[in-house]
Structure 1
Amino acid sequence: MLGVAAAVVAGLAPTAQAAPVTSADSTHTVTLVTGDRVVVQDVGGRQTATVVPRPGSTGDFVNQRVDGDLYVIPATALPYLGTSLDRSLFDVSALIRDGITDQVPVQVAGAAPGVLDGKVTAESGAAFGAALAAQAGRDAKNHFATRGPLFGTANSVRLAAQGAPQQVHPNFPMHTVRVLTVNGANTTVDAALGLINTDDGRNFNAFPYSTAGEARASVPAGNYGLVAWFPTFDSAGQVTSVRVVVQDFVVSGDQVVSGDQTVTVDASKATSQITVSTPKPSNLISESLEYFRSAQAMGSQGYGFAVGNGTAYVAPSAPVKVGGFHFNVQTHSESPAGTANPYSYDLKIDNAGALGSNQHYKVTADQLATLKESYYSDKPGRQEGLARIIFLPYEVFGFGQFAPFTAPLQRTEYVLGGPELLYSDAVLASMTTGGGFTPGGLLQFAAKTTTPVEWLRGPLAPGLSVPPAGTTSWLCAACRRDDTMRVTLVPVLDSDGHALYLDAPTTGTVSTSHFQLLSGGKALIDAKDVTGGEVAVPGAQADYKIVYDQTRTAPWFHQSTVSHSEWTFGSAHSGAQTVPDGWVCDPSTGKATDCSALPLVTASYQLKAGLDGTAPAGPDQVVVTFGHAPGGTNLPFAKADVQVSFDGGATWTPTFLADLGGGHYRSQWTNPASTTGGDVSLRVSATDVAGNSLTQSVTSAFSVPGVQS
């Protein structure tokens, strides 16, 4: 989490020398008190936070970044922060530091739904989140003017842990600033605020909330930047609109200490509606607004607000004189319902220095890159989700929310192309259960190009992650440093190399595994529910074996349920660096001194199955590509084999195997009529010229569909 903290404080794109390490080890999943989950990752030197919403969530979230900490807050919680709801409940950075990731300890003055024995879990948190949304819907009817206890029973809900860091109290004269929030001259209204000293963010940087039309802050003299968000909610607690006003002001040092300075922010001035037009007709599905303000000396403030498909208005602003200013708009729109060949648009457009009065953006076809996306699903009609985080050049943090769709699906997705934009996509395989989180790395697309992308194409099997193109810093997944061996497998990889995270074991869901590293008949590592480890080994040349067994079942899939993988390889003392510069083999020092990649054999698959994971009875084939662990030498292969099983692995049938060269093999066989309505398992093996080998079997790799009436 230190990488997130450093990036948020700096507010600037990191240099190549300071880029955080990219690896699966830098991923954390945090459960919020509302039952929503947040997945925080380091991706290619940038940080992402992606919300996995609880079932029934409205999907409207804000993110706030200040003093090195990231807050992810459901919009329905905003009106209650600092009064009946503790902000620390949503400080994702602090929760990770304190190890509070799967359940939230809370102190309740009264009673609250979802709180069991002083804790909220991912399952019980859904009740808390639903009750909070209902409360916001009720209170919105009277503009939050007569709020009582939360849920009618709780005067306060606080985090029962250390939580957010203590605020610094500067040792210089302070002045009281009264921020009055109105909607027209005589109508007070609540607002969520962001306030930063633009001379130096260390002097003041906070997110006050205006209750009953007023917020107060004690600040030193200087220049200040203010953003005010004025949301409206429907009866379900969903955001229907938001008005945004930004303005700068100066707190004079000539004021007497006891004097107040009043700043009035008027929502009625936000009259410029944000709209986007696309080359082909499309309907707005979701819109996110991102405010970013950097101070002249040090520090920055970020405030993102997701408004779903509600309307958004901004007030034109004067160019800033102190510090930096950006306000960007990201939209996801889709083709009209019933379109024969569906498509979507994901766009992000920036306002730098000021907000203009014209907030209509027109995108042309020659600005766009085309992604031919295929979303596989072995369960028909599965509700999946896509979160597409787009980085502008000045951004080191990205926030994403999932837009739902029905899989299996083939869709043309248009994005803005160009070297200044970076994309970090993730798929949620089951929006219903929140299972199957699958990130896609950091990518760049040129305008007027076409790129095919496949998600969750089977068979899904364990393997090794590969650094994305252009990655400058990478924690090696299978390396030896001097006489220390370190291996970290990816529990599930799809055919396009996307890593899928295992679901947490719950009722109806099984996620178990067993990892062994053996040498000379001795187990160097023998552990359950891990994907690897680090161990000291003798310096002399020796033979090693990795055995990894995995079982995964859940309601949202039925294929690739059991896998068995065995790697054999030789290794000796590593006295020189053979991996690329910038790689890391020692997580404690962040260096790759005397580091070499282990010669583990890898396999990737291209089954001839449909989007639903089925292949008909009759002739069939798979193309298997064998290779080696990233950073290692790609040795030629001496032999390979592919077998299929029609009885769940009880017996195996050889296939006709053709060597296509370069580690590529085509295997052909016939699915008999007796397999109709059943599954087929797959087993592959390969040995290179040095004797390193892999044998891997996947139960229910694909299915043969039943007879249609």
Structure 2
Amino acid sequence: MGTVTPASTTKLGRTLMSLTLNGKQYEIPAAALPYLGRGLDLSLFDVAALRAAEVDGRIPVSLGYQGNQPAVAGVTMTGPHTGYLSAESARTFGDAVARQFVADHRKSGPKPMASPTFTSGAKLSLAGATTPAPKPMYVMKTLTLKASDIDGAPANSATALVQNLDNGNRFEEIDPFFDGEARESVPVGNYAATIVYFDVNTDGDVTGLRVVTRPQFAVTEDATMSFAATEATSEVTMRTPRPAELQEGGFVLDRGGAAGYGSYTDVAVAPGGPIWVSPTTTPVTIGTMHSYPYRRLTSPAGRGEPYTYSLQYLSTGVIPQQVYTASSANTATIDASYYSDIDSTGFQGRTAFYPFELNYFVFHGFGNPLSMPTRRLEYVSAGNSIAWAAFASTNVWTDPRFPGFPMSGGGQGGSARRYTPGEKVTEAWNEFPLSTRAPVNLAGSQTNGQFEPGVVRSGDTETFNLSPFSDNETGHVGWLDIGNHRDPESETYELDQDGSKIADGPVIAKTAQIPDATVKAAVSTLHLTIDAARSGPDYKLSTGNHSEWTWQSHHQEGTLPPGYGCGFEFVSPTNCSVEPLMTAQTVVRGMSLHGTVPAGLQTMDLTLSHLQLTPQSPIPSAKVEFSTDDGTTWHQARTVRVGNGHYLAVFTAPTGFVSLRVSGTDTVGGSIIQTVNHAYQTV
């Protein structure tokens, strides 16, 4: 799961429309919508294109203009029509767009959103972006859309999304209203139109969202259709068993046609403002329509142990009245513990998706600050059709280069998983010790994108997805921010084949991934070593770990099941097989949320197994060692086998830091050794 960080720190700039149009994913700030095609090109918000274009933290852009070269806030010019945006300057640019929106919104006159003066009439686009020349292949008609604001005036801060339902490849377009009108030349056929209104006050705060839709209509001649913000009569309301205050929310509308591309619109309002929707009663007969509101609510201050609600309710075919009630019949309860070795502010988020969203990038909201360590109850919508993914970052700080945005050198990401109504589960986030582990898929084929196993082999190429500083909750993996400018972090690796080194070095900084490696086709013994380290004021525990894996490997031409992929991409090949690496999970009993355990008798549970989708070979032996002098001397703990791969270890430790080393072997030549420095602390 990925995240999108808005460039602007203003409330308006942080309100996003997530849009899938013509097969492309866009993330568009609300402040930019009125200027699409009038100063700002849609390519500036194409997620995949931006990722591909970025070089050394810079996004190349093109500036079209006539006359003298204008100055564009945040853009560093490198030639008459070329320049770039960086992560830092994108904030300057985003803030300028938001200020321009507010300034234009305050103007009197018939056309308050007439021109984006921050570009002096110029057009800014992603470098290399092209607009395909129109190819008339159908009988075309003019479709004129007229829209009025909530006060009845011509709409200038509304946006129209129009799509052909017969075949989305024929026509899909996003168009801002100008003086209450948007006009398109469209092929004859069946259409859907959605109008999104933002209520904005004179200070630029988003005070509400209104969604008005015509889910199905025919265009056979030149036609005019009128829309009014007042049609959005149903306010999204979610009733909860316990008192809860709204923090953020949004609304999703997915419209699929009979063929070709569909459209997917997700509009978030942050912080949580009111949302009104126009209900429908007649089911669509062409294609599909899904919709749902989503909201995050929190317990009022001073209510004792904190709790949250993360809720969303799916409808198909029609858009119902937007009043919902949370209960044990449609929610699950998560008893969540968030560990941290120091008192700090962290960052946490949960997002959910349905089967129809599996090929979309879905992330609802921006996450929320969390005082750490802490424990709270989290109520989430539950059922067979909904899967939740989550993350929790620790020790958040602010980089002076990016004020207003949280930065973190570490944390945990959670695999998507489903909950059943009425279910009660526990989840431990960042519980020590932290070691290098592979991800575990808890949702099967219902994953958002493709799930990449820990190590796969395609022919004679090894691909790695192993994460340092991962906790011991099944489905969690840690992350390492190689670019962290405050807390130094590093990760190196070495791969040997039959005793000879074939690859080594640091991980790829941009992705924190080990590079792919080519190995010989014949049956051989592979040995992988990974060393990860971190230091700085945020880290007392699990400051470094050393991992070694040995396994038998040979040429592979297998195929992964649905939901899995062979590469570190949203969509990747599936012609590979998972390598039989061993895994280790260590849970220290009696640990506090600060990662401390009373000195004296120590008890821990060790679970050894293998990566998902591999044979679970017997594991007849394991060993646990500990050090109380930073690894100078090691002592063997008493370890008792309580089942295949399950062991109980006990030893005595004085006050101080405890380092751990666990190891095990299977019956087919595989082994694992993992060492964690300052694994936890005894007090």
Question: What range describes the TM-score normalised by the shorter chain of this pair?
Answer: 0.7 to 0.9
Match of 1:369 among 326, 332, 336: 332
Question: Closer, same or farther in 2 for the Cα pair 1:409/1:170, shift >3 Å?
Answer: farther
Match of 1:344 among 298, 305, 308: 308
Aligned letter for 1:629? L
Aligned partner of 1:277 in structure 2 is 239
Match of 2:291 among 304, 308, 327: 327
Question: Closer, same or farther in 2 for the Cα pair 1:462/1:192, shift >3 Å?
Answer: same
| Alignment partner of 1:265 is 2:227 | yes
Aligned partner of 1:360 in structure 2 is 323
Question: Closer, same or farther in 2 for the Cα pair 1:321/1:386, shift >3 Å?
Answer: same
8 Å CA contact 1:384, 1:407 repeated in 2: no
Question: Closer, same or farther in 2 for the Cα pair 1:268/1:630, shift >3 Å?
Answer: closer
Aligned length in residues: 644
Aligned letter for 1:306? A
Question: Over residues 608-657 of structure 1, what are the superposed CA-to-partner deviations in whole Å (9 max), with x where a residue is unaligned?
Answer: 32222233444333322222233334344454333333443344344343
C-alpha distance in structure 1 between counterparts of 2:517 and 2:278, whole Å: 59
Aligned partner of 1:517 in structure 2 is 495
Give the deviation of 1:126 after TM superposition. 2.9
8 Å CA contact 2:252, 2:266 repeated in 1: yes
| Mapping for residues 401-480 of structure 1, pairs under 5 Å | 401-404=365-368, 405-429=370-394, 430=396, 432-433=406-407, 436=410, 438-471=412-445, 476-480=453-457
Give the deviation of 1:227 after TM superposition. 0.9
Give the deviation of 1:482 after TM superposition. 6.1
* SS of structure 2 residue aligned to 1:516: strand
| Alignment partner of 1:543 is 2:507 | no
Aligned letter for 2:274? T
Give the deviation of 1:496 after TM superposition. 0.8
Aligned letter for 1:371? I
8 Å CA contact 1:88, 1:158 repeated in 2: no
* SS of structure 1 residue aligned to 2:95: helix
Question: Closer, same or farther in 2 for the Cα pair 1:649/1:153, shift >3 Å?
Answer: farther
Aligned letter for 1:311? P
Structure with higher RCO (Cα < 8 A, 6+ apart): 1
* Unaligned stretches of 5+ residues in structure 1: 1-26, 28-38, 40-49, 256-260
Give the deviation of 1:236 after TM superposition. 5.9
| Alignment partner of 1:178 is 2:144 | yes
Moved more, 218-227 or 549-558: 549-558
Aligned partner of 1:51 in structure 2 is 4
Aligned partner of 1:388 in structure 2 is 351
Give the deviation of 1:604 after TM superposition. 1.1
Question: Closer, same or farther in 2 for the Cα pair 1:54/1:416, shift >3 Å?
Answer: same
C-alpha distance in structure 1 between counterparts of 2:174 and 2:413, whole Å: 31
Aligned letter for 1:494? D
8 Å CA contact 2:310, 2:350 repeated in 1: no
Q: How many percent of aligned residue pairs carry the same amino acid?
A: 29
* SS of structure 2 residue aligned to 1:427: strand
C-alpha distance in structure 2 between counterparts of 1:474 and 1:663, whole Å: 25
Aligned partner of 1:505 in structure 2 is 483
| Alignment partner of 1:697 is 2:671 | no
Give the deviation of 1:100 after TM superposition. 6.0
C-alpha distance in structure 1 between counterparts of 2:40 and 2:408, whole Å: 25
| Mapping for residues 560-579 of structure 1, pairs under 5 Å | 560-571=542-553, 573=554
Aligned partner of 1:91 in structure 2 is 46
Moved more, 218-227 or 96-105: 96-105
Aligned partner of 2:467 in structure 1 is 490
Aligned partner of 1:378 in structure 2 is 341
Aligned partner of 1:72 in structure 2 is 27
Question: Over residues 8-39 of structure 1, what are the superposed CA-to-partner deviations in whole Å (9 max), with x where a residue is unaligned?
Answer: xxxxxxxxxxxxxxxxxxx7xxxxxxxxxxx2
Aligned letter for 2:16? F
Question: Over residues 245-289 of structure 1, what are the superposed CA-to-partner deviations in whole Å (9 max), with x where a residue is unaligned?
Answer: 11257565455xxxxx32221112323222111122211111110
8 Å CA contact 1:133, 1:236 repeated in 2: no
* SS of structure 2 residue aligned to 1:365: coil
| Alignment partner of 1:194 is 2:157 | no
Aligned letter for 1:111? A
* SS of structure 1 residue aligned to 2:304: coil
| Alignment partner of 1:111 is 2:71 | yes
Aligned letter for 1:660? V
Match of 2:587 among 598, 606, 615: 606
Moved more, 482-491 or 171-180: 482-491
Give the deviation of 1:305 after TM superposition. 0.6
8 Å CA contact 1:143, 1:189 repeated in 2: no
Moved more, 285-294 or 263-272: 263-272
Aligned letter for 1:180? K
Aligned letter for 1:333? L
C-alpha distance in structure 1 between counterparts of 2:562 and 2:236, whole Å: 45
Give the deviation of 1:55 after TM superposition. 8.5
Give the deviation of 1:230 after TM superposition. 1.1
Moved more, 656-665 or 280-289: 656-665
Aligned partner of 2:402 in structure 1 is none
| Mapping for residues 239-250 of structure 1, pairs under 5 Å | 239-247=206-214
C-alpha distance in structure 2 between counterparts of 1:499 and 1:291, whole Å: 31
Aligned letter for 1:409? T
Question: Closer, same or farther in 2 for the Cα pair 1:450/1:128, shift >3 Å?
Answer: same
Question: Over residues 480-502 of structure 1, what are the superposed CA-to-partner deviations in whole Å (9 max), with x where a residue is unaligned?
Answer: 56655554423342211412232
* Unaligned stretches of 5+ residues in structure 2: 64-68, 78-82, 397-404
Aligned partner of 1:162 in structure 2 is 128
Aligned partner of 2:66 in structure 1 is none
Match of 1:291 among 228, 253, 264: 253
Question: Over residues 97-123 of structure 1, what are the superposed CA-to-partner deviations in whole Å (9 max), with x where a residue is unaligned?
Answer: 545694312245633444345322223
